[in-house]
Structure 1
């Protein structure tokens, strides 16, 4: 592993809340609205002035959520009932899929329903296999946007890598994503997704995506900015960032590392730091971001993407990553981060 050591001074960021601009309230469907991340996203969309349309399989749990948000539109729908899915997406501007666990196949029923309805689709899946197969297997309807992996594991690394890559010779020799968490209590959906992954790891080596399984994960050390400093990391971490970065940033290799401090802490006190390096020859660029609660941050990522999408700020249609659809540096500066270093 090429784990170079640099240090940075923390840069405080004030969240200016771009969503406060006057904008028309538009209905946005949240599928899996009663799950952990779904609830956080419903709260985020409500705060941003959108009209959440609450959907999912379980009508009882949806009703309990409607009681928290009086006046919300409740639309129960099963993924194996196309007519119910079509009703759920009637007259909405976009749908965000928060229904875990995300396995190793794209959520075809909801993607197909979004295509029939002609609405934008986003999901918060952090699973590399899901993102890879969504990009490979799905074709959106004309004029709509499909953005997989609009969550902590998938969007943040892609945004940071896009900033670090700007101005670099193409292709780069290596892009590395390193994540440090001071604790992590996975949700039930995250746990089940890990079971479905069954030890498979998506890697990007010599310009190609591949799946590895049955071999030990590599270990090494990474010098993070304060407060983490040097930490032991696990390599070949199966985050969707590997897929989103590989989609549009030419490079020979993509590395993904993670450090999780034990024991796990509650989400309200969880801190994260994500650092990305882009190397070409003996030169490299480093950028990083720090914040709290990876699930709450995923909701903020999706909320910001919805805001920009409905304001007509997307520079892409069809299949795209967050940083293909929007200006990466500007997007990062709008997020609720404790610190951000973009070089």
Structure 2
């Protein structure tokens, strides 16, 4: 697609969940009438009514029915996929969006799914003339953009270390827990880091990190951050590693089916966070920090922002990282209207 519609049409798959409600609220704020796609007409109508979107079109399609999904996305300028466990559920929406000629974005946070998008669907998206930007979350978008900016402030290829820090200590949703559980062994292993020009498993090199406002370092462990895959696409780096506070990693590693069923569907009400990217090079560290308001709200806002930008038809076709598609400084600056701020600190 190469032209900007006067009012872009955004299709949403997964509009009935917690993040879906934020997606619909943002679409309504922008005066956009979405297409809601899913399996259950009653739930979709209820979601539209709750969001005060009486004119939203409802289209029914199951994840197992490719033909119905393609039909549901036909006529949309962009598709937003809002699911849990993309490693299990994500491909059908992606494949159908491309087949329907619609741009695509999602709220995935799984390294394994992002790799599949770039390895298996980039050529199909390019052939179809559409752009797919996976992994648009409160963590991944800031991580990718900050990495692009901080790495260029040190001499030579930078060593990048990135983390996501909850400032409130709030709990995530049941859907998020299911996402972790679907790839539990991968999360426990720490997933990939990037070094010596390739993705690698096994131990990496940063056992501690001093978070903003702290004077003492916190014990951290390797965590499968999706920007590990995206950053090397646009930035020359020596290494990229994701880490998370050790106590949070221990909690994630303890997930069981029984424990997940006890987690509330909705997350805590206070979900303030920081995304931190440290670029190590020439004997110093340049730190980038994004401060956000609510992890789920912000992921939804970012997905709508990306979808509406894609609908403009100005990005090159294929599968892209955020920093490949948009100017990092301009994009980060544009988030101030949502209360999402950023800064770079040099030492």
Deviation at 1:67, TM superposition (A): 2.2
Equivalent of 2:140, from 154, 157, 160?
154
Match of 2:198 in 1: 208
Q: Does 1:223 align with 2:210?
A: yes
**Pair 1:303–1:230, CA change in 2 (3 A):** farther
**Pair 1:30–1:266, CA change in 2 (3 A):** closer
**Pair 1:260–1:35, CA change in 2 (3 A):** farther
Equivalent of 2:342, from 334, 340, 343?
340
Match of 1:10 in 2: none
The gaps in structure 1 that reach 5 residues or longer are 1-21
Match of 1:245 in 2: 231
Distance, in Å, in 1 between the alignment partners of 2:308 and 2:49 is: 25
Is the partner of 2:31 in helix, strand or coil?
coil
Equivalent of 1:70, from 41, 54, 60?
54
**Pair 1:250–1:219, CA change in 2 (3 A):** closer
Distance, in Å, in 2 between the alignment partners of 1:111 and 1:43 is: 23
Distance, in Å, in 1 between the alignment partners of 2:333 and 2:83 is: 28
Match of 2:289 in 1: 288
Match of 1:326 in 2: 326
Task: Give deviations 1:5-54, integer Å, cap 9, x for gaps.
Answer: xxxxxxxxxxxxxxxxx983221001111112122112112212222111
**Pair 1:131–1:52, CA change in 2 (3 A):** same
Task: Give deviations 1:168-198, integer Å, cap 9, x for gaps.
Answer: 44532x1111221132422222111111112
Task: Give deviations 1:101-123, integer Å, cap 9, x for gaps.
Answer: 222x6822222211211110101
Equivalent of 1:135, from 115, 118, 143?
118
Q: Superposition pairs for residues 50-199 of structure 1, below 5 Å? A: 50-68=32-50, 69-103=53-87, 107-138=90-121, 139=123, 140=125, 141-166=127-152, 168-172=154-158, 174-181=159-166, 182-199=168-185
Distance, in Å, in 2 between the alignment partners of 1:55 and 1:125 is: 18
Q: How large is the Cα RMSD of the aligned pairs?
A: 2.7
**Pair 1:219–1:321, CA change in 2 (3 A):** closer
- Contact 2:79-2:307 at 8 Å conserved across structures: no
Deviation at 1:233, TM superposition (A): 4.0
Deviation at 1:339, TM superposition (A): 3.6
Distance, in Å, in 1 between the alignment partners of 2:36 and 2:206 is: 42
Distance, in Å, in 2 between the alignment partners of 1:238 and 1:324 is: 21
Deviation at 1:313, TM superposition (A): 4.6
Is the partner of 1:43 in helix, strand or coil?
helix
Match of 1:14 in 2: none
Aligned residues, how many? 315
Match of 2:310 in 1: 309
The gaps in structure 2 that reach 5 residues or longer are 252-262
Deviation at 1:131, TM superposition (A): 0.7
Distance, in Å, in 1 between the alignment partners of 2:208 and 2:223 is: 14
Deviation at 1:127, TM superposition (A): 0.8
**Pair 1:208–1:79, CA change in 2 (3 A):** same
Deviation at 1:298, TM superposition (A): 0.4
